[in-house]
Structure 1
Amino acid sequence: MRYNNEIDIPLGKNETIVIKKRYEFFYHLNDVIIALLFLVGSIFFLSSETKEQGIWLFIIGSALFVIRPFIQFLKMFHLKRRNSQSK
């Protein structure tokens, strides 16, 4: 049995719900990765031997925070483009 995790509601030419769900998935996936990086970075930061790796995990996690608004911008751009094409 194949599992399809995509919600697909036919709305004629407007695929707004499917598009929103795809971007929501990437937004939440990014959040989980950020949380894991900060958690592991915090654990690494406790030992002087792994402190530098912990710092790098914090830096990478912080960089991923920058991606969050871009995911939203891409979603808005995609929806606006789809809406203008369907008219």
Structure 2
Amino acid sequence: MPRRLIFLPVLALIAVVAGIGLMLGGRAATTTETEVIERMAARYLADAGAGAARSDCEARPAVSDDLWLVVACGDYEYFVDAYGRLVHRNAPGVAS
């Protein structure tokens, strides 16, 4: 067995890890605040039901290092991480 074949699995692992890193980095870099606010506003409309409006929503920077934005819509708050994912939700009548 040639010596260079021994390093083939290591090179494959490095390529996979690099691909995952590029994918996650690209996702974080291309997610905009507007997209996140629109997505959380749509979630708010589904959660709150009748009487809810997109104009109820506003966003502010999160205080926590692990979070990016807090989207507040009426009595609802949506906490979003750097990848645009919902991490936590405060809602009326829901125990945190």
TM band (smaller chain) = 0.3 to 0.5
Greater RCO structure (CA 8 Å; 6+ sep)? 1
More strand by share: 2
Larger-Rg structure: 2
TM-score (norm 1): 0.34
TM-score (norm 2): 0.31
